[in-house]
Amino acid sequence: MDHQAPPPPHVLIFPLPFQGPVNCMLKLAELLSAAGLHVTFLVTHHIRHRLLRHSPIQTHFSRYPNFQLVSISDGLPEDHPRLGDQCMELFDALESVTKPLYRQMLTSGGTQKPVNCIIADGILGFAIDIAKEIGMPIISFRTISPCFIWVVFCLPKLIESGEIPFRDNDLDSMITSVPGMENFLRKRDLPSFCRSGDVTDPFIRLFSTESQLSPRADGLILNTFEDLEGPLLSHIRTLCPNLYAIGPLHGHLKSRLAVASPPSSGSFRQEDRTCLAWLDQQPPKSVLYVSFGSLATITKDQLMEFWCGLVNSGKRFLWVIRSDCLGSGGDSERQIPAELQEGTKERGYIVDWAPQVEVLAHSSVGGFLTHSGWNSTLESLFEGVPMICWPSFVDQQVNSRFVGEVWGLGLDMKDTCDRVIVEKMVRDLMEERRDEFERSANRMADLARRSVTEGGLSFQDLDRLIQDIRSMSL
Ligand code: UDP
């Protein structure tokens, strides 16, 4: 008898259309493709356009004939900023425009091969609804930090206990309704939207709905590892027992696929690689890398405070200043001051977008001034680079508290932006307290690397995920 091997399962991966989630899920897509699964990576037309324009996605993924990139409308005009305050418009359009198109795609065979399993961002609640409607297995992936996910799961409790909305402005008072964080979580460390003073705030509603929906999925993937967040993961497992802790995801590419320095195959912007040559000329661990991620905007005053603090610290720095980082004000408000470019030349280097993973792995980098986005935090942690945190929104406030207070990986500068403080923090991180931070950063980097090598818990959980997906197609 002729026993033919069953065809490989087909997984549809649907990230939230922002840089961080797309970067992260693309790494999972690569790992699943390399394991022989068929992968359809579904993005919005806007994101597809940017990926094809700025990233090497086509050449990079040509080695996986079982991978395809597919796109769908997000209902917004091409020139919509999809940034800062306008993010909510994107969420509304995803619900009203993308959701029906997505349902149609899944039910009318719009994916060429039938799909066996969906992996969708947990915040896309409609993806869970539709999967349940058509009886298809779905695994949620939250690319945001698990410490934030746990706070979000506790939102009903925080509201019920009266801890949010805040009754006074004492942001240093302690929060007691988040089990496992009673000893260190202050009001100021809660997600930024908790400060709105209104429990009907659209972000509170969005994330509260998510916490009710996530347990309905067949599993939950988190980009973390047991040694980093074990106790928190135990709490999350009480609601989502089938949890896959497979992070740091980019670490698997290094260990499993032996990619020495994985190219950022998912960049939405043109990477300026000249900064790597500049880094080659600097002494070991002498450079502070500065970046506030892909979405955060800052004011011109804040930009100048950072610049003066950096210059006055006397340290070398490599700074990512995105052309749209000054937000959507008038033209003169959005212009990066010329004196900043000029006055930086002595010890600094400015780029619009950097190959961040490679920068953090560079031997000249000794610190990271970051907005504490979860991907940036993990990328820094994996390379043993201590951080100064200046969080902006969503999960960043709680991430920076963990970096500063729980993991001892750096300094939390939230809610201040003053040149004197910037200067002092840079000196502390790069000089005065350098040994202390380096010790804990190296220890954590070692644990992170072990978790993604054979025998490590993240390695095992990724194998379990692949096996579970295979069994879904039988
Ligand atoms: N990133 C990059 N180059 C830059 C700045 C950021 O490649 O100049 C990447 C970074 O490596 C990370 C992602 O963009 O993977 C940002 O994700 P994160 O979760 O840190 O923050 P977000 O942009 O979502 O606020």
- At 167 the pLDDT is 86
Q: Is 25 in the pocket of ligand 1 (CB under 6 A)?
A: no
The answer to whether 342 and 375 are in contact (CB under 8 A) is no
DSSP 332: H
Nearest to 33 by CA among 5, 3, 57, 54: 57
Contact at 8 Å (CB) between 457 and 226? Answer: yes
Distance between Cα 405 and ligand 1 center (Å)? 23
Whole-angstrom Cα distance, residue 415 to residue 391? 8
β-bridge partners, 38: 10
> 294 C-alpha vs ligand 1 centroid, how far in Å?
5
| C-alpha 21 to ligand 1 mean position (Å) | 9
Reading the chain (474 residues) residue by residue, the pLDDT tens digits are 556 777 899 999 999 999 999 999 999 999 999 999 999 999 999 999 999 998 888 888 999 999 999 999 998 988 887 876 678 889 899 999 999 999 999 988 766 788 999 999 999 999 999 999 999 999 999 999 999 999 999 999 999 999 999 888 899 999 999 999 999 999 999 998 898 878 888 888 888 887 777 889 999 999 999 999 999 999 999 999 999 999 999 999 878 877 655 555 688 899 999 999 999 999 999 999 999 999 888 999 999 999 999 999 999 999 999 988 887 665 666 677 888 877 787 899 999 999 999 999 999 999 999 999 999 999 999 999 999 999 998 999 999 999 999 999 999 999 999 999 999 999 999 999 999 999 999 999 999 999 999 999 999 999 999 999 999 877
Q: Which is the closest atom of ligand 1 to the Cα of 294? A: 23
Q: What is the DSSP string of 54-119?
A: HS-HHHHHTT-TTEEEEEE--SS-TT----GGGHHHHHHHIIIIIHHHHHHHHHTTTTSSPPSEEE
Ligand 1 atom closest to the CA of 144, numbered from 1:
19
Q: What is the DSSP pairing of strand 219-222 with strand 138-142?
A: parallel
CA distance 410 to 369: 10
pLDDT at 65: 94
Residue type for position 12: L
Q: From CA 260, how far away is CA 276, in angstroms rounded?
A: 15
Residue 19 Cβ contacting ligand 1 at under 6 Å: yes
Of 139, 141, 140, 155, the residue nearest 191 (C-alpha):
155
pLDDT, position 256: 82
As given in the structure block, the two tokens for residue 470 are 């295979």
pTM: 0.94
C-alpha 177/C-alpha 74 separation (Å) is 36
Is residue 354 lining ligand 1, measured as CB closer than 6 Å? yes
CA of 376 to the centre of ligand 1 (A): 6
The atom of ligand 1 lying closest to the CA of 352 is 8
Backbone angles phi, psi at 355, to 5 degrees: -75, 80
CA angle 50/375/249 to nearest 5° reads 95
Region of residue 394 (left: phi > 0; alpha: psi -120 to 50; beta: else) = left
The residue whose CA is least distant from atom 16 of ligand 1 is 20
DSSP secondary structure string for all residues of 160-220: HTT-SS-SSS-TTSBP-SSTT-TTT-BGGGS-GGGGGS-TT-HHHHHHHHHHHHGGGSSEE
145 Cβ below 6 A of ligand 1: no
**Strand-pair category, 316-320 with 287-291:** parallel
Sheet order of strands, 38-44 included: 67-72, 38-44, 10-14, 117-121, 138-142, 219-222, 243-245
pLDDT of residue 324: 85
pLDDT tens-digit map of 293-314: 998 889 999 999 999 999 999 9
Pair of tokens at residue 11: 């997984």
Q: Which of 318, 321, 376 to mutate to test the pocket of ligand 1 (most atoms within 8 A of CB)?
A: 376
What's the pLDDT at 60?
87
Q: Which residues are registered as beta bridge partners of 367?
A: 288
Q: Is the ipTM of this complex over 0.85?
A: yes
Strands (E), 247-305: 287-291
- Distance from C-alpha of 173 to C-alpha of 238, rounded to nearest angstrom: 28
Q: Tell me, using a 6 A CB cutoff, whether residue 291 lines ligand 1.
A: yes
Alpha carbon distance 11, 119 (integer Å):
7
Q: For the chain, how are helix, strand and coil distributed in percent, rounded to 5?
A: 50, 15, 40
CB contact at 8 A, 326 and 249: no
Indicate whether residue 313 lines ligand 1 (CB < 6 A): no
Q: What is the pLDDT of residue 342?
A: 76
Distance separating alpha carbons of residues 93 and 350, to the nearest angstrom: 35
Give the pair of three-digit tokens for residue 45. 């037309």
Question: Ligand 1 centroid vs 19 CA: distance in angstroms?
Answer: 7
Which residues partner with 222 through β-bridges? 142, 245
Q: What is the pLDDT of residue 4?
A: 74
Domains of the chain, CATH where assigned: 10-148+189-263+451-472 (3.40.50.2000), 273-431 (3.40.50.2000)
Distance of CA 377 from the midpoint of ligand 1 (Å): 9
Calculate ∠ Cα 162-166-168, nearest 5°.
120
* 3-class secondary-structure state, position 442: helix
271 CA to centre of ligand 1 in angstroms? 12
